[in-house]
Chain A
Amino acid sequence: MALFDYAPAPESRAAAGDIASTYGHFIDGEFVESTGSEALKTVDPSTEEVLAEFAQGTEADVDRAVAAARKAFTSWSALPGAERGKYLFRIARIIQERSRELAVLESIDNGKPIKETRDVDLPLVAAHFFYYAGWADKLEFAGYGSNPRPVGVAAQVIPWNFPLLMLAWKIAPALATGNTVVLKPAETTPLTALRFAEICRQAGLPKGVVNIITGDGRTGAALTAHPEIDKVAFTGSTEVGRAIARTLAGTTKRLSLELGGKAANIVFDDAPVDQAVEGIVDGIFFNQGHVCCAGSRLLVQESVHDDVMDALKRRMSTLRVGDPLDKNTDIGAINSAAQLARIQELTAAGEAEGAERWSPSCELPSAGYWFAPTVFSNVSATHRIAREEIFGPVLSVLTFRTPEEAVAKANNTPYGLSAGIWTEKGSRILWMASKLRAGVVWSNTFNKFDPTSPFGGYKESGYGREGGRHGLEAYLDV
């Protein structure tokens, strides 16, 4: 089927608001310059155009931010929960008011399609603040004791794949429970976090309750190793998660980790093929596959393998790759040159190891970082593309014959973040769901998120949960 011709429907770049040429940190309620002179650049990954310079946070900057958070903790934690909650409600409302601006800014800085930032990221960001706002004065009913106390100062380090949403997942529960935070956004996507700092000011949030400090892994390492913090919450690679766990070893500091994944999306022979294919596409091509819970391993029952592959390839041929600000775009830009190189390396390994590579013909823009949606068939469980997290729009297809084999293959990974099941048989869904060692199981759907629904992994996908009642625990002294 040929693509319908369509006219570009670009969202206005101007809607992102003014992007400053340089940014400092947000510490103690003020935008401040770094004590160091090193600056990093953030680029629009769809054009490689430099958007802004921002500070590489130094140890002195971290000290200052942690001190501000520590100072603010005394009064913030003493504030009645209802008042803390009202600040969060205010923040949620302002996010809703400014959601178009934030969605456009996020798409520009991250490269993800506007239809995702507009319809997924921003609604979930606002909803997350709303949800935890309501918990702030109800903590004694959450099942964590009659007088749950905050932990203290939380150091929070977030990734670049859902910059503002990950910020919300970190900051909303931390503040609702009475903690103060120092948050470091990823070095390729600092802009929405810095814009969020403005929202904190508009909401009248007391100084020092939220501090945003920018920089790369060096800043993150200084922050997570800081002696005056009480808790670290990290979302990112398993490798860095390990390093943080080692740093905190032997201390009394708390740690929650949301790390990598290599989820199996399992399709049985009785699944409606078209629905399953939608779920497969959502599972791996949503957000360019920059999703820790992406359904990156497709396990198809052998008897329907060819049918599913045919339908999948047909569907992939209709995916529109290109300008993130075009409202028709399904797949945007890869977030960074480094990530693109990683995807290229692993896909090259997939071919070298003998898997069969296929992509629809699609024209990629000449500037920027792009990768066509790709599927590998004839993948064996030992191939790197079946074991390592690619974090890109690349699907590896394996087959199975029996449910037992599907479970064994799905669980044959050190990760355990998510899994998908496609079948019409209810008892099989429940049996499979109970056997899969993964924190989130989507049956006959995929990549659904909600602030009330706990998210987090088994095994080397990390520990602790974000979202829902369970998400409070990471920030309570229980």
Chain B
Amino acid sequence: MSEPTTALRLDVYKTYKLFVGGKFPRSESGRVYEVTDRKTGEWLANAPQGTRKDTRDAVSAARKAFGGWSGATAYNRGQILYRAAEMLQGRRDQYVAEVALSEGLTAKKAAPLVDAAVDRLVWYAGWTDKVAQIAGNANPVAGPYFNLSTPEPTGVVGVVAPQGGTGFSLLGLVSVLAPVIATGNTAVVALAPGAPLPGLSLGEVLATSDLPGGVVNLISGRTEDIAPTLASHADVNALDLAGVVAEEGPASARDLEVAAAETLKRVLRPESASHDWTTAPGTDRLLTFLETKTVWHPMGM
């Protein structure tokens, strides 16, 4: 039997697109930039060069989605995050390839990082209906009052995705994104500009997980365009600067924090660029983008 004539069949390339409001738009600029193999420098794909305008559109989408997502039951959010884990598991091979190319790893080394990303989604899926039980409190006030503190999501969170460290391109992204949405926030993510492909593909997983459009918005492009737009946007409530690497300039932690101060955004400062994203996350990120609301009511006959 002769060999199949595979050489005659061309692979179908994927056009990588942004993920905004549950849809997959190209950048409004119509511009793309080249994404290359971390190890060989070979061309991999053209990624959309998301702009300030794309970022503002994403913030609008995130704001619009906030009411529904923050009002969804914690159980429902957990179901959806678990569904996202299922979808990611189903596309494991694709992500192994993308992570390997993005981080300059062999497929063998990339595979456990993808598995860890799946597991991390499962970990956060399980947290959704427990976080209020560890972050809330019944307060024994000295008077005839019922007094209860409960955590609520902060709002729209701008996330600068990790740009370095073990597993940053997918596991790192999931590790910063999942806690934000598990607690009911919505997110606009500035993807790692040098390794955006796993992140752009993550939109396809989220889009098929019953996650309402706009809860997660993924923008590839220059961090110095996207991050300052998030930091200065009045409708963004908080920033996770996990992946900030610039020492100075508009995309540095200092400048972003200064911009964020204008509307008193909550800011989580950068992670070390060599952070090992496989380490157990603990509850730090889960408890960061929460506001404590305390409700009083008199007791009486």
Task: Mark the stretch among A25-33, A157-165, A304-312, A432-440 that contacts chain B.
Answer: A432-440
Which B residues touch A238, using CB under 8 A?
264
Q: With A249-B261, A470-B292 as known contacts, state yes or no: A444 contacts B237, CB within 8 Å.
A: no
A429 at the interface (CB under 8 A from B): yes
Query: Cβ of B147 < 8 Å from any Cβ of A?
Result: yes
The contact string, 1 if C-beta is below 8 Å from chain A, for chain B 283-301, is: 0100000011111111000
Contact B262 A455 (CB under 8 A): no
Task: For the complex formed, measure the closest distance between the CB of A150 and the CB atoms of chain B, giving whole angstroms.
Answer: 18
Which of A257, A450, A478 is the one whose CB lies under 8 Å from B284? Answer: A478
**Are the CB atoms of B295 and A441 closer together than 8 Å?**
yes
- Which residue of chain A lies nearest to B259 when distances are taken between CB atoms in the complex? A249
**Is B92 part of the contact surface with A, judged by Cβ < 8 Å?**
no
Q: Are B137 and A470 in contact (CB under 8 A)?
A: yes
User: Does A384 count as interface, using CB distance less than 8 angstroms?
Assistant: no
A148 at the B interface (CB under 8 A): no
The residues of B that contact A252 with a CB separation of less than 8 Å are 269
Query: Any chain A CB within 8 A of the CB of B266?
Result: yes
Instruction: Please measure, in the bound complex, the distance between the C-alpha atom of A248 and the C-alpha atom of B267, giving whole angstroms.
Output: 11
CB within 8 Å for A453 and B147 given contacts A143-B134, A462-B264: yes
Q: Is the CB of A257 within 8 A of B264?
A: yes
Q: B139 in the interface, Cβ–Cβ < 8 Å?
A: yes
- Contact of A443 with B294 at beta-carbon distance under 8 Å, contacts A459-B237, A468-B149 already known: no
Shortest C-beta distance, A301 to chain B (Å), equals 19
- Chain B nearest CB from A111 CB (Å) reads 27
Which B residues between 47 and 103 are near A, CB-CB below 8 angstroms?
none
Q: Number of B residues contacting the other chain (C-beta, 8 Å)?
A: 35
Q: Chain B contacts of A469 at CB under 8 A? A: 137
Contact indicator A242/B261 (Cβ below 8 Å): yes
Least CB distance from A72 to B in Å reads 27
Residues on the A chain within 8 Å of B266, using CB: 463
B141 touches A450 (CB 8 A): yes
Partner among B145, B149, B261 whose Cβ is within 8 Å of the Cβ of A448 = B145
* Residue A360 at the chain B interface, CB threshold 8 Å: no
Answer yes or no: B254 CB below 8 A from chain A CBs: yes
The yes or no answer to A460 lying at the interface (CB within 8 A) is yes
Contact between chains at B257 and A440 (CB < 8 Å): no
Report the bound CA distance from A433 to B137 in whole Å: 16
B232-291, CB < 8 A from A:
237, 252-258, 260-264, 266, 269, 284, 291
Evaluate whether A450 and B139 lie within 8 angstroms (CB atoms) in the complex, with A439-B294, A442-B296 already known.
Answer: yes
B143 within 8 A of A: yes
The answer to whether the Cβ of B1 comes within 8 Å of any Cβ in the partner chain is no
Main secondary structure of the interface of B (DSSP, over half): mixed
B4 at the interface (CB under 8 A from A): no
Q: Decide if A454 touches B264 in the complex (CB within 8 Å).
A: no
User: Quick one: which of A233-290 are within 8 Å of B by CB?
Assistant: 238, 241-243, 245-246, 248-250, 252, 257, 259
Tell me which residues across on chain A come within 8 A of B253, comparing CB atoms. 249-250
Listed residue (B141, B258, B292) with the most chain A CB atoms within 10 angstroms of its CB: B292
Given contacts A246-B261, A250-B254, A462-B264, contact A452 B139 (CB under 8 A): yes
User: Is the CB of A456 closer than 8 A to any CB of chain B?
Assistant: yes
Are B291 and A458 in contact, with the CB atoms below 8 A?
Answer: yes
**Interchain CB contact under 8 A, A454 and B139:** yes
A426 to B: closest C-beta gap in Å: 9
* Closest CB in chain A relative to B236 CB, distance in Å: 11
A445 with B141, Cβ < 8 A, contacts A450-B147, A454-B149, A468-B149 known? no
- Establish whether residues B142 and A450, one from each chain, have CB atoms under 8 Å apart when the complex forms: yes
Complex interface residues of chain B between 2 and 34 (CB less than 8 A to chain A): none
Interface residue? B140 (CB, 8 A):
yes
- Contact A429 B297, CB 8 Å, known A450-B142, A458-B291: yes
Q: How far is the CA of A259 from the CA of B141 in the complex (A)?
A: 24
Distance in Å: Cβ of A134 to nearest Cβ of chain B: 12
A41 at interface by CB-CB < 8 Å:
no
A445–B297 CB distance below 8 A? yes
CB neighbours (8 Å) of A245 from chain B are 257, 260-261, 264
Cβ of B154: which chain A residues have Cβ within 8 Å of it?
A: 458
Q: Which residues of B contact A448 (CB under 8 A)?
A: 141, 143, 145, 296
> How many angstroms from the CA of A166 to the CA of B266 in the assembled complex?
23
Complex-state Cα separation, A127 to B139, whole angstroms: 14
| 10 nearest A-B pairs in the assembled complex, by CB-CB distance | A250-B254, A249-B257, A245-B261, A450-B141, A452-B139, A249-B258, A246-B261, A441-B295, A453-B139, A443-B297
Binding site for B on A (CB under 8 A): 127, 143, 238, 241-243, 245-246, 248-250, 252, 257, 259, 414, 429, 433, 438-445, 448, 450, 452-456, 458-460, 462-463, 465, 468-470, 478
10 contacting pairs across A/B (C-beta < 8 A): A238-B264, A241-B264, A245-B261, A259-B264, A439-B291, A440-B294, A445-B145, A450-B142, A458-B154, A462-B264
